[in-house]
Structure 1
């Protein structure tokens, strides 16, 4: 039984879905280019991190002649050995110079530094998280949209039209999954890096506050 007027609704839905094919393909191309750019940035970041020796608190404690809590030059050595970015190094160095501030003021500044860095690192991760989520979605849309005309072509015996539709469907699927895989891999590794950075940053800030307290 056919509902009166339903054919007009199905035609509207069909036209809308077919109109989305070109934007979906353009979106996949844009995400692919962006994913390659993020991959290059990730490899450069990884190369930079490999050049730096991972900071270990126990090793530093053994090699430090002065007793805990460390102060001044000892904390500077910790900062130099860490994998901090230029921005993080400057923020921590500026706080270390402010010896006249009270402990409460330094605690507030340290909390603000941690909050700012966490937000900044989250913005970086959001870019690759977007690739991991949107890439497969667009790939699936690019798979399903051409299958409708492809099946219609099969019903009419048009095997050329069917093969063209299947090629488009497979290509968009592969590209979408590739984008998602690249984004997920980068996000996973960066998330581990940044959690370690935040832990080290929090530890150094606590050393600065504790060191001044016992000075």
Structure 2
């Protein structure tokens, strides 16, 4: 009785395992499309990014620190080589010159947190692919090996060969997806962390100068 129950459970597990192969392959194909689109976006971003140079940033900080009015600070920010998103965040801080210094600093922190959240969302998809790609590749490797090894016992070499082909293909695709996603996420995080650090530095200079101007 116990043996029959165990056989039934084993058969059920086998059916479930076999039924997962097609969805795994479909998802892996979808992952390939997604990671290729992400790679295209990454390459485009790589060659279109124009990060503000160190000497330009130093000059901007010096000019902001010595500026004598809110309007002058806005002009300096808008005329700088910062990204548009950075300019928008800094202008928001400047536009709130009429609130207390503590509230202004809290607002700046909130604005920077929102910008960081945007960056996290931009890398979240590739972060997911880093882990799920190889996992699905492993599933695609193990699932067909069961029937393949079973066929080996009956001398059916063709079925085993087909199972091994599927196993190797899914492994390569899964690992490849994970590797590409890792490279994309890694470089983007470096870029975005640098952007946030730049925005944070300029924001601190702006807040300090607003305090100095008694706003």
Q: TM-score range by the shorter chain?
A: 0.7 to 0.9
Alpha-carbon deviation of 1:11?
0.5
Cα contact 2:52–2:81 (8 A) shared by 1: yes
Gaps of 5+ in 2: none
The CA RMSD measured in Å over matched residues stands at: 2.2
In structure 2, distance between residues paired with 1:5 and 1:81: 71
TM-score by length of 1: 0.88
Deviations 1:45-101, CA, capped at 9 Å, x for gaps: 11122x44434577427x95x5x723354675466233x3x3332121232233323
Secondary structure in 1 aligned to 2:199? Answer: helix
TM-score by length of 2: 0.88
Q: How many residues align?
A: 208
In structure 1, distance between residues paired with 2:162 and 2:124: 35
Structure 2 counterparts to residues 170-189 of structure 1, below 5 A:
170-189=168-187
Cα contact 2:145–2:167 (8 A) shared by 1: yes
Q: 88-97 or 172-181, which moves further after superposition? A: 88-97
Alpha-carbon deviation of 1:213?
1.2
In structure 1, distance between residues paired with 2:52 and 2:47: 12
In structure 2, distance between residues paired with 1:54 and 1:18: 56
Q: 92-101 or 18-27, which moves further after superposition? A: 92-101
In structure 1, distance between residues paired with 2:97 and 2:73: 15
Gaps of 5+ in 1: none
Q: Which residue of 2 aligns with 1:129?
A: 127
